[in-house]
């Protein structure tokens, strides 16, 4: 998450916004975000429907799998990677996507 | 603030940490020696290496990340050890040194559960620009261990990079300040030979 926070100025440059989604409750996420000085939104999804909708909810487990998803401005999922985020890969993809989309 | 067209980067995350694991180098060498005796690291960095009794450490990180350091097993009982490193992504997020220092020390040696006391903090010149050097000491009265550390923050483009040295000792052990001189020489010799990935975006 710190990596995303460091890259916010670059996401801004590429017209991107970052959201975190977790099954943790709001209080836990607030504490966590405060500890890491995060300024972007973290969504608490204790009922797991968001995770189920993108297939990162392992059956019988209380947490999501870790996945990075990029959705374009038309709402199409354009990028999916599991595991720890590859920030350089994400930034290169966003740059390409922004160039594709042209000026808003 | 002007709202631009939206590309929404959505992350699904597990609130868990993946910390890097240090290993000694065993694979293809990412460095070469220059005629001047400096180390050229992946044609990107140049620095004066420490004396031969320092062992190279590699830190498992992202495939394209630069994370390395040096280690020396010191004489004396456990935990007599000194390590120093260059880090492209030191803990914290803020591009300003003062705030970054606060963020950094929330996480630095977090697992050791040590409260640091700042011994000295001063502006320095590093990697061709202004930086901040912070000398700290931490003590663990339960394990009867202590650590002296120096962290130097500098800039590479818009981003903060870091150098740090940690020297562990038993509580009644004496620090070896010559290791800090080796570290200072390493830091002052450090140069970027080309722009970072982030500067080329």
Does the beta carbon of A5 lie under 8 angstroms from any beta carbon of chain B?
yes
Q: Which of B4, B6, B12 to mutate to test the interface with A (most CBs of A within 10 A)?
A: B12
Greater confidence, A31 or B58? A31
Give the pLDDT confidence score for residue B14 in this predicted structure: 35
Any domain includes B193:
no
**Domains of chain B: total:** 1
B1 inside 8 A of chain A by CB = no
Mean predicted confidence (pLDDT) in B34-55: 94
Q: Which domains does chain A possess? A: 2-101 (3.40.30.10)
Closest by Cα among B102, B44, B52, B97 to B72: B52
Considering the domain boundaries, does residue B170 fall inside one? yes
Region B118-126 average pLDDT = 97
Largest Cα–Cα separation, chain A? 44
Domain span at residue B130 reads 52-176
Token reading at A25: 């409750």
ipTM of this predicted structure? 0.84
pLDDT confidence of residue B137: 96
Cα–Cα distance list, B62 to A3, A77, B65, B89, B109 (Å): 12, 24, 5, 11, 20
Averaged confidence pLDDT in chain B: 86
Report chain A residues whose CB lies below 8 A from the CB of B198. Answer: 10, 91
> What was the pLDDT predicted at B56?
92
What is the enclosing helix (H) or strand (E) of A21? strand A16-22
Q: Which residue has the higher pLDDT, A89 or A58?
A: A89
Q: Report the pLDDT value the prediction gives residue B66, as an integer from 0 to 100.
A: 66
State the average pLDDT over residues B163-186: 97
CATH number at residue B135: 3.40.1000
Distance set, CA A30 to CA A35, A38, A40 (Å)? 9, 9, 11
Predicted structure pTM score: 0.82
Cα distance from B13 to chain A (closest Cα, Å)? Answer: 5
pLDDT value at B4 more than 80? no
**B100 in any annotated domain:** yes
């Amino acid at each position: 998450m710190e990596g995303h926070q460091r890259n916010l100025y670059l996401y801004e440059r590429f017209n991107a916004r970052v959201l975190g989604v977790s099954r943790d409750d709001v209080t836990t996420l607030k504490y966590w975000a405060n500890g890491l000085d995060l300024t972007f939104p973290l969504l608490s999804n204790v009922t797991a429907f968001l995770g189920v909708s993108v297939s990162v909810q392992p059956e019988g487990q209380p947490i999501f799998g870790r996945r990075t998803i990029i959705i374009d401005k038309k709402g199409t999922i354009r990028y999916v990677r599991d595991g720890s985020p590859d920030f350089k890969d994400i930034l290169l993809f966003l740059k390409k996507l922004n160039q594709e989309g042209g000026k808003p | 603030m002007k709202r631009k067209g939206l590309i929404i980067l959505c992350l699904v995350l597990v609130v868990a940490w993946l910390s890097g694991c240090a290993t000694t180098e065993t694979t293809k060498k990412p460095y070469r020696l220059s005629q001047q005796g400096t180390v050229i690291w992946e044609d990107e960095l140049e620095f004066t290496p420490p004396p031969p009794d320092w062992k190279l450490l590699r830190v498992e990180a992202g495939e394209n990340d630069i994370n390395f350091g040096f280690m020396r097993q010191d004489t004396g009982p456990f935990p007599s050890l000194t390590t120093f490193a260059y880090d492209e992504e030191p803990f914290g997020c803020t591009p300003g040194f003062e705030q970054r220092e606060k963020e950094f020390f929330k996480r630095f040696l977090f697992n050791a559960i040590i409260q640091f006391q700042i011994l000295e903090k001063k502006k320095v010149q590093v990697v061709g620009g202004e930086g901040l050097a912070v000398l700290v000491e931490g003590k663990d009265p339960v394990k009867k261990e202590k650590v002296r550390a120096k962290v130097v923050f500098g800039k590479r483009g818009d981003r903060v990079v870091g150098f740090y040295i940690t020297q562990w000792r038993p509580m009644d052990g004496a620090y070896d300040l010559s290791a800090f001189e080796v570290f200072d020489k390493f830091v002052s010799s450090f140069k970027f030979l080309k722009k970072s990935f982030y500067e080329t975006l």
